[in-house]
């Protein structure tokens, strides 16, 4: 009995605090304070990959709105029990729009969103939604297709390396997209895949790059976030493709192109909606057409005709006339998944868990 | 040249004050650091050390963060007392989480009061088995446990990643690497509504008391301590060394396993690839910071958890980088080691006290 009363008391106190903060935030809006926008990062802002690029988006947001917004970020947040506390503390400290930028924050974001119905949440790369929780993801596979084409033309050994993080749909989709380009432009080229089971581990990424180059690989692609593979390729006179951010400075000779995530436009657009009161929950998928995926430059080492074709691919993907997964798409068993004349839909790409024909490897189970 | 000379007497009081000195020195250095970063030092220290625990939710979160570290560290105090260097609390924690999750997922449709105890027990068995592997390698092949436990950490991590991508993956989870959410009867109940503090913290406190009694009041604890202080004396006294190594490692592994299953069945509610941001390693620091004494370990755990949380708070309210957390932990350890060295040794600069050294040399010659 006593215990229950104690709990009641605590709930009462908590409700009281909640009420008073609600009143305070009401006043805050009336006083036209800046909109507080929070960001939760899985890596350090200096990773020069995924998190760095999200932070560039945050900086773009600040530059766009000036003193109408106030942004906060928490970096290196583990995808475990800590995430919920960090997200909750952001919501509790008056942030009205919170971006959680890694898949592993999904359930934590869902839990906090339930407790803070008047705060808007956006979770990157996940699939759970609520009235105040939307999702957003980039079509990295579009850029990866162009990278696959350039790699298919630049390789001399016909061995292309791919450093992969985790076998989730996003990563499998991008490997397949590269293979689609190889099947079309250089079927003799072979894709060698190494799983490092990490998004950011410069040591492991460099080891994987070196192991592949030992096996004759001369172009390295990566779906991990550090520039370690780019640096390894530079040291050994091979080529590499940058991921998430422009990595040209890490391999002046090795760098062919970078597939860059531009989060700024998304962050600016969603913040504007929250300011206008028009924000609604959404599952947003953006790519080259929306400017969310960008290839800032092609290296001078790429021959002019290859560069011209790559630029044609970019233009085609932007206007929708080219789709990386244009049929026929055949799986490893030889089954036609999409016939000629059709393309794989986003619904199918979203949960892709199979390799296409041409990949000589098994999916890690 | 600077020389270190052992002090004749070891002061017990100073040995206990050393962590306090280290703490004070860390605070002073931290304040200077904040001032250099252009922050008000007092406000920054307030943000780092007081703000995270200024309400019930914060205090509850401190316990959530502390529980796994405390369980690992208190277990490590037992093995370290026996001078068995178990660096594998991290792997034992992961195995506890993995086996506990496998049990919880197998019983996902079961209901009843018995589900949770079974899940927790499975986690403890998982951790104990993993430590038992190291015990077996040590007692049967004389394999160095520092190496085997470190390597077993990586094996455990890869097993966990394999399981969460394979057999334990949520069938409705779009192929993402995480398990289904556990059923309610497999979840550890929370203690206070609206917070995440759960019975895990009580288990940890209970473990502190039990280990304290074990080490200070029981014959087994006495044997473990003798083994650590002088293994040949332990042998001479007829203590069975191998049995003691087994027992110490099993206790330590079981407690680390409980920490792991406490995370998945507690705040997480499912198995994910990253159930521990290195609690097993943090526990090694905590165990030594706390002088391998249960109360010391409890205090050190709370401090460590507080620094983690303060680092988050400093990022949110002051915009300071996360590297600050590592810096504070590093400074704390550095000062602790420095204080320990200065308490046990005195610094001599021979160039300044040459005459004294000469006298010593003359004496030594005379002896020879």
Closest-CA residue to B162 (of B179, B182, B180, B183): B179
Cα–Cα distance for residue pair B194/B29, rounded to 1 Å: 37
How many other CB atoms are found less than 10 A from the CB of residue A35? Answer: 18
Cα–Cα distance for residue pair B221/B226, rounded to 1 Å: 9
Contact (CB<8Å) B277/A82? yes
Q: Which of A74, A75, A365 sits opposite B166 (nearest CB)?
A: A365
Inter-axis angle of helices B323-344 and B294-313, nearest 10: 150
**Residue A220 falls within a domain, yes or no?**
yes
Give yes or no: residues A113 and A96 share one domain. yes
Q: Looking at the 3D structure of chain A, how many domains does it have?
A: 2
Domain that holds residue A281: 2-139+263-286
Q: To which residue do tokens 């509504």 refer?
A: B193
**Residue A280 falls within a domain, yes or no?**
yes
- What is the distance of C-alpha B88 from the center of its chain? 11
Give yes or no: residues A110 and A165 share one domain. no
Q: What is the pLDDT of residue B37?
A: 87
**B188 touching A, CB under 8 A?**
no
Closest-CA residue to A207 (of A161, A273, A139, A174): A161
Q: E strand or H helix at B297, and its extent?
A: helix B294-313
**A114 touching B, CB under 8 A?**
no
Give how far B93 is from chain A: nearest CA, Å: 14
Cα–Cα distance for residue pair A173/A348, rounded to 1 Å: 10
Tell which wins on pLDDT, A279 or B10. A279
CB B177 within 8 A of CB B272: yes
Cα–Cα distance for residue pair A250/A282, rounded to 1 Å: 37
Residue A113 has which token pair? 């969103």
Our separate counts of H helices and E strands in chain A read 11, 14
Tell which wins on pLDDT, A71 or B14. A71
Q: What is the pLDDT of residue B352?
A: 62
- Which CATH number do you get for residue A311? 3.40.50.2300
Closest-CA residue to B342 (of B33, B71, B5): B5
Residue A128 has which token pair? 């759970």
Identify the burial level of A74 via C-beta atoms within 10 angstroms of its C-beta, where 0-12 means exposed, 13-18 middle and 19 or more buried.
buried
Cα–Cα distance for residue pair A229/A206, rounded to 1 Å: 5
Cα–Cα distance for residue pair B257/B100, rounded to 1 Å: 9
Cα–Cα distance for residue pair B246/B223, rounded to 1 Å: 13
**Residue A203 falls within a domain, yes or no?**
yes
pLDDT at B326 over 90: no
Residue A116 has which token pair? 């803070």
| ipTM of predicted complex | 0.84
Contact (CB<8Å) A90/B165? no
**Strand A159-164 and strand A190-195: pairing?**
parallel
**A20 touching B, CB under 8 A?**
no
Give yes or no: residues A345 and A225 share one domain. yes
**Residue A360 falls within a domain, yes or no?**
no
Give yes or no: residues A267 and A223 share one domain. no
Q: What is the pLDDT of residue B176?
A: 81
Give yes or no: residues A37 and A62 share one domain. yes
CB B364 within 8 A of CB B19: no
Give yes or no: residues A187 and A303 share one domain. yes
Supply φ then ψ for residue A326, to 5 degrees: -80, 135
Chain A residues with beta carbon closer than 8 angstroms to that of B93 = none
Give yes or no: residues A148 and A281 share one domain. no
**A80 touching B, CB under 8 A?**
yes
Question: Which residue in chain A has the smallest CA separation from B191?
Answer: A7
Q: How far is CA A264 from CA A59, A133, A268, in A?
A: 8, 19, 6
**A16 touching B, CB under 8 A?**
no
For an interface test with B, give the residue of A16, A47, A76, A81 to mutate (most B CBs within 10 A). A81
Give yes or no: residues A103 and A245 share one domain. no
pLDDT in tens, B214-244: 999 999 999 999 999 988 899 888 899 999 9
**Residue A279 falls within a domain, yes or no?**
yes
Give yes or no: residues A44 and A94 share one domain. yes
Cα–Cα distance for residue pair A216/A236, rounded to 1 Å: 11
Contact (CB<8Å) B322/A85? no
**Residue A25 falls within a domain, yes or no?**
yes
Q: What is the pLDDT of residue B361?
A: 58
pLDDT at B268 over 90: yes
From first to last of its 365 residues, chain A has per-residue pLDDT tens of 344 444 444 444 444 444 444 444 444 444 468 999 999 999 889 878 889 999 999 999 999 999 999 999 999 999 989 999 999 999 999 999 999 999 899 999 999 999 999 999 999 998 899 999 999 999 999 999 999 999 999 999 999 999 998 888 899 999 999 999 999 999 999 999 999 988 888 999 999 999 999 999 999 999 998 899 999 999 999 999 999 899 999 999 999 999 999 999 999 999 999 999 999 999 999 999 999 999 999 999 999 999 999 999 999 999 999 999 998 999 999 999 999 999 999 989 988 989 999 999 888 76
Give yes or no: residues A36 and A115 share one domain. yes
Chain A residues with beta carbon closer than 8 angstroms to that of B178 = 104, 107
Exposure string of B208-243, with b = 16+ CB inside 10 Å and e = fewer, is: beebbebbeeeebbebbbbbbeeeeebeeeebeeee
Cα–Cα distance for residue pair A288/A110, rounded to 1 Å: 29
Give yes or no: residues A343 and A314 share one domain. yes
Residue ranges per domain, chain B? 67-183+196-291
pLDDT confidence band for B356 (50 / 70 / 90):
low
**Residue A245 falls within a domain, yes or no?**
yes
Chain A residues with beta carbon closer than 8 angstroms to that of B313 = 89
pTM (two decimals): 0.84
Give yes or no: residues A41 and A170 share one domain. no
């Amino acid at each position: 009995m006593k215990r229950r009363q104690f709990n009641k008391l605590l709930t009462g106190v908590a409700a009281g605090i909640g009420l008073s903060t609600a009143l305070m935030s009401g006043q805050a809006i009336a006083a036209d304070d800046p909109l507080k926008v929070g960001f939760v990062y899985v890596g350090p802002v200096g990773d020069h990959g995924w998190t760095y690029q999200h932070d560039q988006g945050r900086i773009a947001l600040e530059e766009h709105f000036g003193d109408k917004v106030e942004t906060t970020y928490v970096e290196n947040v583990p995808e475990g029990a800590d995430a919920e506390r960090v997200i909750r503390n952001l919501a509790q400290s008056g942030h009205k729009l919170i971006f959680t930028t890694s898949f592993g924050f999904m359930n934590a974001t869902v839990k906090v969103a339930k407790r803070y119905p008047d705060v808007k949440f956006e979770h990157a790369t996940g699939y759970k939604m609520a009235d105040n929780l939307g999702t957003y993801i980039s079509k990295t596979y579009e850029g990866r297709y162009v990278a696959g084409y350039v790699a298919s033309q630049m390789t001399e050994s016909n061995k292309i390396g791919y450093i992969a993080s985790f076998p989730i749909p996003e990563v499998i989709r991008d490997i397949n997209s590269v293979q689609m380009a190889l099947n079309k432009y250089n079927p003799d080229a072979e894709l060698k895949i190494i799983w490092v089971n990490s998004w950011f581990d410069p040591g492991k990424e460099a080891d994987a790059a070196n192991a592949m180059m030992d096996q004759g690989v001369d172009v390295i692609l990566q779906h991990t976030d550090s520039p370690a593979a780019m640096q390894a390729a530079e040291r050994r006179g091979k080529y590499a493709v940058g991921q998430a951010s422009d990595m040209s400075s890490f391999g002046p000779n090795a760098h062919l192109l970078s597939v860059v995530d531009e989060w700024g436009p998304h962050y600016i657009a969603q913040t504007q909606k929250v300011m206008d009161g028009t924000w609604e929950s959404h599952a947003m998928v953006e790519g080259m057409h929306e400017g969310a995926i960008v290839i800032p430059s092609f290296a001078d080492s790429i021959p002019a005709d290859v560069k011209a074709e790559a630029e044609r691919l970019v233009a085609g993907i932007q206007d929708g006339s080219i789709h990386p997964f244009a049929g026929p798409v055949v799986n490893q068993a030889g089954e036609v998944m999409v016939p000629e004349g059709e393309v794989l839909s986003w619904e199918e790409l979203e949960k892709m868990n199979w390799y296409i024909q041409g990949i000589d490897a098994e999916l890690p189970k | 040249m600077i020389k270190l000379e052992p002090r004749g007497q070891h002061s017990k009081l100073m040995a206990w004050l050393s962590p306090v000195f280290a703490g004070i020195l860390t605070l002073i250095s931290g304040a200077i650091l904040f001032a250099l970063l252009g922050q008000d030092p007092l406000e920054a220290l307030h943000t780092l050390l007081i703000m995270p625990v200024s309400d019930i939710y914060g205090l509850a979160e401190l316990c959530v963060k502390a529980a796994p570290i405390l369980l690992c560290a208190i277990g490590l105090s037992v093995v370290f007392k026996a001078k068995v260097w178990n660096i594998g609390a991290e792997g034992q924690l992961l195995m506890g989480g993995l086996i506990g999750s496998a049990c919880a997922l197998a019983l996902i449709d079961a209901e009843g009061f018995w589900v949770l105890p079974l899940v927790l027990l499975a986690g403890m068995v998982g951790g104990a088995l993993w430590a038992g592997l190291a015990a077996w390698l040590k007692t049967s092949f004389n394999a160095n446990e520092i190496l085997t436990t470190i390597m077993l950490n990586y094996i455990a991590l890869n097993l966990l990643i394999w399981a969460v991508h394979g057999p334990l993956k949520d069938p409705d989870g779009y192929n993402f690497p995480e398990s289904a959410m556990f059923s309610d009867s497999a979840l550890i109940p929370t203690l206070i509504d609206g917070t995440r503090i759960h019975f895990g913290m009580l288990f940890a406190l209970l473990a502190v008391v039990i280990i304290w009694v074990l080490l200070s009041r029981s014959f087994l604890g006495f044997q473990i301590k003798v083994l650590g202080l002088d293994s040949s004396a332990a042998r001479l006294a007829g203590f069975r060394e191998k049995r003691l190594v087994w027992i110490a490692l099993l206790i330590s592994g079981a407690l680390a396993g409980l920490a792991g299953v406490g995370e998945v069945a507690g705040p997480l509610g499912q198995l994910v690839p990253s159930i521990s941001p290195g609690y097993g390693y943090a526990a090694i620091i905590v165990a030594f910071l706390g002088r391998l004494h249960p109360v010391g370990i409890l205090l050190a755990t709370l401090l460590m958890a507080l620094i983690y949380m303060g680092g988050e708070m400093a990022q949110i309210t002051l915009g300071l980088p996360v590297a600050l957390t590592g810096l504070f932990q590093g400074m704390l350890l550095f000062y602790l080691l420095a204080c320990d060295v200065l308490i046990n040794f005195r610094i001599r600069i021979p160039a300044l006290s040459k005459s004294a050294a000469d006298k010593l040399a003359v004496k030594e010659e005379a002896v020879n």
